Structure 1
């Protein structure tokens, strides 16, 4: 019997903010630190960076970048080896944001459960940052 395909986590939201504002929140380190984690991210293909929090760090590398449309980076900690892909689509009222984290192996249920619980909270934080940025 072969292992099933690796599992993924997908979160999608319609946001009442233009794509360029959402893109800034996805790519500017000071904004990423407000809604996701502290980081030394730079929006350029091949750039290696980290996300850090009280519990530890995640090592990443930019794999693909299409400004205001698509961003993909590896996401791992030495055991976990996944890819996070952000897709941004303009809408009449703002933007549709889709995040997919792929590559969870069957023997990594804690990572999968953590991502399933964590990403919706990060999206909530993102919406708060976007609302605050709009109000300024």
Structure 2
């Protein structure tokens, strides 16, 4: 059963988190392009699509921690420090996505002027933090400091 839970956890992370990190990273440059080329319907459509991808996969992403916790319980590592750190970082990443990235994307779906360019730069930095949080979680999941199976 643990192998099944772990497989679903890893697949869900790849399928749900991967697209969000890519789409969120692509959004700020498209905002700047939309400001530079006002009225370009392809750029406007791309912004809407990128936001829908982020919003949709954020909802699907709940599967990742659910199956992660189930796996941790099955493996008896729920109280290990590396896992607790991973859960805290995952919660932080979710908070950044839900509390900052998605609302700012929503506000920038029809960008205009220098304010939108500034917001897109701040959004880009926020997305960088979001992606860094996930990168650290992945490293912790692979290395598992202090575990008997860690490298």
With normalisation by structure 2, the TM-score equals 0.31
Give the structure with higher Rg (CA): 2
Q: Which structure features the higher share of helix residues?
A: 2
Q: Which structure features the higher share of strand residues?
A: 1
